Chain A
Amino acid sequence: MRRRIPLLSGLLLGLLASASLAQTIPSYEQLVYPALKQVKIPEPTTFTLANGMRVFLLEDHELPLINGLALVRTGNLFDPPDKKGLSSVMADVLRSGGTSAKTGDQIDEELEDIAASVESSMGETSASISFNGLKETTGTVLRVFKEVLTNPEFRQDKIDLTIAQSHSGIDRRNDDPQGIAEREIASILYGRNNSYGWTIEHADLVHTHRRDLQEFYHRYYFPKNIMLAVYGDFSTPDMKQQLEKLFADWSPEQPPVPPFPPVTAKPAPGVFLAQKSDVTQTFFSLGLLSGTLRDPDYPALEVAVNILGSGFTSRLMAQIRTKLGLAYSIGAGWGAAYDHPGTFRIVGSTKSASTADAILAARTELEKMRTSEVSEQELKTAKDAVLNSFVFFFDSPAKTLSRVMMYQYFGYPNDFLFEYQKKVAAVTRADVRRVLQQHINPANLSIVAVGNPTDFGKPLTEIGKVEMIDLSIPPIPAVAAPVR
């Protein structure tokens, strides 16, 4: 008897112990989250230099680094029709062609000796010259950056190099099927006769000369047309002083740069097929012109298109990937731009045999969302995803600085993001349906497919009338010898 009691109590103790060890694991619905800590949004210091250049400074002392970006109000939308590709060649040679004092190759060595970089690039609606370096090299990096920005030499050998590389790039443009789909849908949606939609051919590059690069540079690269952001490990008053001194001798003037050309394209509904023999998948894109971030319906459209095709929980993902197993990659984006209509696109890829099935399934998902309201849970998921991840807009000083600068660049109010947040929170199921009906008409969709039609299970004519896309690359005209 006596011996059994300790045994029993030992057993009981053991049971109790294991009960307390095995803590109850809640379900995710039962978790209660503390309020999120207040986000500290750093405030950049902004001022204008005597020459008219707008400056944004933001200190970040976590790492001994300095970074910067000059945003120039230009873009390849300004390429002249008879010199397509000029702006990109110019931006490349701006850096590689060196300055009056140093060749580009010398600058390469000077910068890399101190693990720094200065790079120039051209986008659709902006050009940039960026720099970065270790803190202790700030003086050198700023000096080289300023030289490149203000005093490019555009040496002919580097113009020749960039143009030769561009020719090689054109010859390789049909190697990547996804790249073909992206390029062709843009050309079809914007039209091939303007800088939003044209493709640069070999013949276009033949007419690009040094004086063209210089003219383009002088027209757009002047202080009043530039915003400069610097962030990293520095003191703001010091940096301000350095920049004032650095740019004291640079004050060229030009008339204000006009707005970018308007988009005039009309819907181009239809099915467009580009044949590529060496693929087992078809890459497809269904698109139409979307809108800008200024559109009052923009927040509701973002929510709507997120439900349709963003992330792993979207309808396209659930239906075409998870349920039908027809695609690894499938999604959609509203694609609004700051200052001109962007493109709404459903993008995916599927094995050749299921090409028509996957495209039709994607279109069906879009149509379903226009004809019946989304569920309360879908709406909540889409809104929560935006609202709960809002903090990630502010998780690094660089993101804050770049946002503030982009808003000023495109003339958006500073509190645009916060207004957007409020509007997303207010979106209703009826809004989702309304904006889809109003802005996305499936009958207007342009559908591009890049693939091998001999392996298609069903012909694409089941979707609509098919127009072939000619992928052949016109050769360099024999007569046009380069003139310098």
Chain B
Amino acid sequence: MRLRLLLFVLLPSLLAAQSVAELQKSFEKKVTEFTLASGLHFIVIERHEAPVVSFHTYVNVGSVDDPGGQTGLAHMFEHMAFKGTPTIGTTNWPAEKAAMDAVERVYDRLDAERNKGPHADPKKIAAISNELAAAMEKADSYVEPNEYDRVVESNGGEGMNASTAEDSTNYFYSFPSNRIELWFLLESSRFLNPVFREFYKERDVVREERRMRVESSSQGKLIEALAATAYAAHPYRNMPGGWASDIEHFRRPDAERFYKQYYVPANMTLGIAGDVNPAEARRLAEKYFGRLVARPLPSQYRTVEPVQEGEKIATVSSPSQPFVIIAYKRPDQHSPDDAALSVLDSVLSDGRTGIIYKDMVRDKQMALGAGSAPEFPGGKYPSLFLFYVAPSTGHSSEENEKELDRIIQQVKTTKVDEETLKRVKTKLRASLIRKLDSNSGLASELCSYYVNYGDWRRLFSELDDYDKVTADDVQRVANTYLVKEHRTLAYTYVPGANAKIDSKGDSEDHSKKEGSK
């Protein structure tokens, strides 16, 4: 009886392991890779089920690369990449270019006056500001608004957008497969000859985006405060949207410099998935992207975050209902402990059987929602393993924080049982299979794995690492990384309400720091 039960548990995951190996084999046949002389890399995934193709441009640049005093610049450039080229988006490029340069000259004078500080002349500033507005209006008069977008949309482009994260910037959309050449033309042109038109209007838009995502959301504010507190030196301390005043001071040449430094061919990977012929893709890639010339790769060095010497606390006063985050320092995505941390995360919070859900939401009913995330805000550099909880009505943040602490103690002192471990591994396998069913998902995933791990096959082979994780490993990484000295507690509280967390209280931590470096 016991044996039969065990078999029932084991069987599906073994079968799934086999089907993953088969899937990887079938993918070898579908995937073609090539690199242009400039270092620009292409991954082509053939899927001929329907006459559609998804495109993904993965640029290995993100907010970690924002220059000092210019946080949010990577994101600002991402917006500019939709502004067109010398031939798309203008009624008269030479005249527009001259007018745009005139804007910069006026802006230089404005900055020069402002830089005088207390000696600046407010009247002069007002006069130059008026001049600047007029110069911008002149430059904008040559603009064919949103032409780049219009060409994509009117040709049936679907899901066009872009995103900027800490580690990467991504541009993506899909076309009917007879429009493949149009993508090659448009995508190569915007990264060959980006035109920074309407820069200062777009700066306002970017500022509005920050108001929406961060300033008008208590959780947005909390996450920003968490990052800024947990990190003392590494740029993960800044969110991709940047700080308000930095955004308001961007100048066009800043974005141009950023583009020249980071948008070099060898720093970009392009994924094409769907009804595409790889030989034809290569021909078109040479023709259109062959125009991009090789430039040296930017440095990957970023200030190394020093070891955290004690617990940190970040709070946000807000009339919104409370939210609590506990974040622990963890190593980057190349750490040998990465797989065990992912398994630990699944054990804690995957599905309806995760420990945190069962304990805090289902059984003790102290939380409306709670869980963990193994890697925040990025993975290229040492990051955070975090826990979050939205307390239920009538249950305090402090009570929830203590319960999370208890669960953390539990995974440090008690080994995960084999049944749970098996379940988590099966789910990790299944979630890989489910990732493979869309062109856009494939184009994005394969690019991401290629850039971050050197080979798209890592998407499949990381499952082998998960498989090797033992209950001892899970316990070991919990003890190594979930230590109080290396954590940041962040929470919102309603002003006036007695909702502050006394973290110096009795949440003890007797763990040894095994294997700390």
* A residues whose Cβ falls under 8 Å from a Cβ of B: 23, 25-28, 31, 33-40, 62-65, 105, 108-109, 112-115, 117, 134-137, 161, 164-165, 167-169, 171-172, 174-177, 277-281, 283, 311-313, 317-318, 321-329, 349-351, 380-381, 384-385, 387-392, 394-396
Question: Which residue on B lies nearest to A109, using beta carbons?
Answer: B353
Q: Please determine whether B205 and A327 come into contact, CB atoms closer than 8 angstroms.
A: yes
Q: Please determine whether B178 and A381 come into contact, CB atoms closer than 8 angstroms.
A: no
Given A136-B15, A165-B392, A313-B149, A277:B205 Cβ within 8 A: no
Q: Please determine whether A25 and B185 come into contact, CB atoms closer than 8 angstroms.
A: yes
Given A134-B430, A169-B368, A325:B176 Cβ within 8 A: no
Contact of B9 among A25, A113, A171, A387 (CB under 8 A): A113
Q: Please determine whether B205 and A37 come into contact, CB atoms closer than 8 angstroms.
A: no
Question: Which residue on B lies nearest to A169, using beta carbons?
Answer: B368
Q: Please determine whether A328 and B51 come into contact, CB atoms closer than 8 angstroms.
A: no
Q: Please determine whether B146 and A322 come into contact, CB atoms closer than 8 angstroms.
A: yes
Is B105 located at the chain interface by the 8 A CB criterion?
no
Is B434 located at the chain interface by the 8 A CB criterion?
yes
Mask, B149-189, CB within 8 Å of A = 1, is 11101111110100000000000001011110110011001
Q: Please determine whether A394 and B50 come into contact, CB atoms closer than 8 angstroms.
A: yes
Question: Which residue on A lies nearest to B188, using beta carbons?
Answer: A25
**C-alpha gap A31/B287 in the complex (Å):** 14
Contact of B156 among A169, A175, A389 (CB under 8 A): A389
Query: At the interface, is chain B mostly helix, strand, loop or mixed?
Result: helix
**C-alpha gap A389/B158 in the complex (Å):** 7
Q: Please determine whether A322 and B201 come into contact, CB atoms closer than 8 angstroms.
A: yes
Q: Please determine whether B156 and A385 come into contact, CB atoms closer than 8 angstroms.
A: yes
Q: Please determine whether A278 and B50 come into contact, CB atoms closer than 8 angstroms.
A: no
Contact of A351 among B23, B52, B198, B211 (CB under 8 A): B211
Q: Please determine whether A113 and B426 come into contact, CB atoms closer than 8 angstroms.
A: yes
Is B41 located at the chain interface by the 8 A CB criterion?
no
**Chain B residue contacts of A174, Cβ below 8 A:** 320
**C-alpha gap A385/B149 in the complex (Å):** 11
A61 to chain B, nearest CB (A): 10
**C-alpha gap A312/B79 in the complex (Å):** 12
**C-alpha gap A27/B157 in the complex (Å):** 18
**C-alpha gap A283/B212 in the complex (Å):** 9
Q: Please determine whether A115 and B429 come into contact, CB atoms closer than 8 angstroms.
A: yes
Q: Please determine whether A323 and B178 come into contact, CB atoms closer than 8 angstroms.
A: no
Q: Please determine whether B437 and A39 come into contact, CB atoms closer than 8 angstroms.
A: no
Q: Please determine whether A317 and B211 come into contact, CB atoms closer than 8 angstroms.
A: no
Q: Please determine whether A161 and B365 come into contact, CB atoms closer than 8 angstroms.
A: yes
* B residues whose Cβ falls under 8 Å from a Cβ of A: 9, 12, 15-16, 19, 23, 49-52, 82, 87-88, 140, 145-146, 149-151, 153-158, 160, 174, 176-179, 181-182, 185-186, 189, 198, 200-209, 211-212, 215-218, 275, 287-288, 291, 318-321, 350-353, 358, 361-362, 365, 368, 390, 392-393, 419, 422-423, 426-427, 429-431, 433-434, 436-439
Q: Please determine whether B176 and A115 come into contact, CB atoms closer than 8 angstroms.
A: no
**Chain B residue contacts of A327, Cβ below 8 A:** 205, 208
Question: Which residue on A lies nearest to B216, using beta carbons?
Answer: A279
B117 to chain A, nearest CB (A): 26
A113 to chain B, nearest CB (A): 5
**C-alpha gap A437/B140 in the complex (Å):** 32
**Chain B residue contacts of A39, Cβ below 8 A:** 50-51
Question: Which residue on B lies nearest to A164, using beta carbons?
Answer: B365
Question: Which residue on B lies nearest to A311, using beta carbons?
Answer: B153
Question: Which residue on B lies nearest to A175, using beta carbons?
Answer: B320
Question: Which residue on B lies nearest to A452, using beta carbons?
Answer: B216
Closest 3 CB pairs of A and B: A388-B156, A325-B204, A115-B430
Q: Please determine whether B433 and A63 come into contact, CB atoms closer than 8 angstroms.
A: yes
Given A115-B427, A317-B146, A325-B205, A172:B288 Cβ within 8 A: no
**Chain B residue contacts of A114, Cβ below 8 A:** 12, 426
Among the interface residues B23, B51, B319, which one has the most CB atoms of the partner chain A within 10 A? B51
Show 15 A/B contacts (Cβ-Cβ < 8 Å), sorted by A: A26-B185, A35-B178, A39-B51, A115-B431, A135-B19, A279-B215, A281-B212, A281-B215, A318-B145, A326-B204, A328-B212, A350-B208, A380-B154, A384-B155, A396-B50
Q: Please determine whether B365 and A23 come into contact, CB atoms closer than 8 angstroms.
A: no
Given A112-B351, A134-B19, A278-B218, A388:B145 Cβ within 8 A: no
Question: Which residue on A lies nearest to B434, using beta carbons?
Answer: A65
A405 to chain B, nearest CB (A): 19
Question: Which residue on B lies nearest to A37, using beta carbons?
Answer: B51
Q: Please determine whether A113 and B12 come into contact, CB atoms closer than 8 angstroms.
A: yes
Given A164-B365, A391-B156, A63:B437 Cβ within 8 A: yes
Contact of B426 among A115, A171, A325 (CB under 8 A): A115
Q: Please determine whether B362 and A281 come into contact, CB atoms closer than 8 angstroms.
A: no
**C-alpha gap A109/B368 in the complex (Å):** 21
**C-alpha gap A319/B317 in the complex (Å):** 36
**C-alpha gap A33/B207 in the complex (Å):** 39
B368 to chain A, nearest CB (A): 4
Question: Which residue on A lies nearest to B88, using beta carbons?
Answer: A28
Question: Which residue on B lies nearest to A116, using beta carbons?
Answer: B430
**C-alpha gap A137/B14 in the complex (Å):** 12
Q: Please determine whether B423 and A113 come into contact, CB atoms closer than 8 angstroms.
A: yes
Question: Which residue on B lies nearest to A398, using beta carbons?
Answer: B437
Q: Please determine whether A312 and B146 come into contact, CB atoms closer than 8 angstroms.
A: yes
Given A175-B218, A281-B215, A390-B156, A165:B368 Cβ within 8 A: yes
A131 to chain B, nearest CB (A): 13
Q: Please determine whether B185 and A392 come into contact, CB atoms closer than 8 angstroms.
A: no
**C-alpha gap A38/B431 in the complex (Å):** 32
B26 to chain A, nearest CB (A): 9
**C-alpha gap A327/B204 in the complex (Å):** 8
Q: Please determine whether B320 and A395 come into contact, CB atoms closer than 8 angstroms.
A: no
Contact of B216 among A34, A135, A177, A387 (CB under 8 A): A177
Given A171-B393, A323-B201, A389:B12 Cβ within 8 A: no
**C-alpha gap A395/B274 in the complex (Å):** 10
Q: Please determine whether A328 and B206 come into contact, CB atoms closer than 8 angstroms.
A: yes
Contact of B50 among A64, A350, A388, A391 (CB under 8 A): A391
Q: Please determine whether B12 and A136 come into contact, CB atoms closer than 8 angstroms.
A: yes
**C-alpha gap A17/B198 in the complex (Å):** 39
Q: Please determine whether B216 and A281 come into contact, CB atoms closer than 8 angstroms.
A: yes
**C-alpha gap A172/B16 in the complex (Å):** 41
Question: Which residue on A lies nearest to B215, using beta carbons?
Answer: A280
Q: Please determine whether B153 and A381 come into contact, CB atoms closer than 8 angstroms.
A: yes
Q: Please determine whether B52 and A392 come into contact, CB atoms closer than 8 angstroms.
A: yes
**C-alpha gap A27/B147 in the complex (Å):** 13
**Chain B residue contacts of A34, Cβ below 8 A:** 178
Q: Please determine whether A322 and B179 come into contact, CB atoms closer than 8 angstroms.
A: no
Contact of A385 among B154, B202, B351, B438 (CB under 8 A): B154
A153 to chain B, nearest CB (A): 16
**Chain B residue contacts of A117, Cβ below 8 A:** 351
**Chain B residue contacts of A27, Cβ below 8 A:** 87
Given A112-B353, A176-B217, A323-B201, A134:B16 Cβ within 8 A: yes
**Chain A residue contacts of B202, Cβ below 8 A:** 322, 325
Contact of B176 among A62, A351, A391 (CB under 8 A): A391
Given A172-B390, A280-B211, A325:B52 Cβ within 8 A: no
**C-alpha gap A167/B423 in the complex (Å):** 33
Q: Please determine whether A62 and B49 come into contact, CB atoms closer than 8 angstroms.
A: yes
**Chain B residue contacts of A392, Cβ below 8 A:** 52, 156, 158, 174, 176
Q: Please determine whether A391 and B52 come into contact, CB atoms closer than 8 angstroms.
A: yes
Contact of A311 among B149, B351, B358 (CB under 8 A): B149
**Chain B residue contacts of A113, Cβ below 8 A:** 9, 12, 419, 422-423, 426
**C-alpha gap A137/B206 in the complex (Å):** 48
Q: Please determine whether A161 and B362 come into contact, CB atoms closer than 8 angstroms.
A: yes
**C-alpha gap A62/B288 in the complex (Å):** 33
Contact of B177 among A23, A36, A115, A328 (CB under 8 A): A36
Given A176-B217, A325-B201, A312:B12 Cβ within 8 A: no
Contact of B433 among A31, A38, A65, A169 (CB under 8 A): A65
A464 to chain B, nearest CB (A): 24
B181 to chain A, nearest CB (A): 6
B146 to chain A, nearest CB (A): 5
Q: Please determine whether A385 and B153 come into contact, CB atoms closer than 8 angstroms.
A: yes
Given contacts A172-B321, A349-B211, A349-B212, 9 further A-B contacts (CB under 8 A): A36-B51, A37-B275, A280-B211, A323-B145, A329-B212, A381-B153, A384-B156, A385-B154, A385-B156
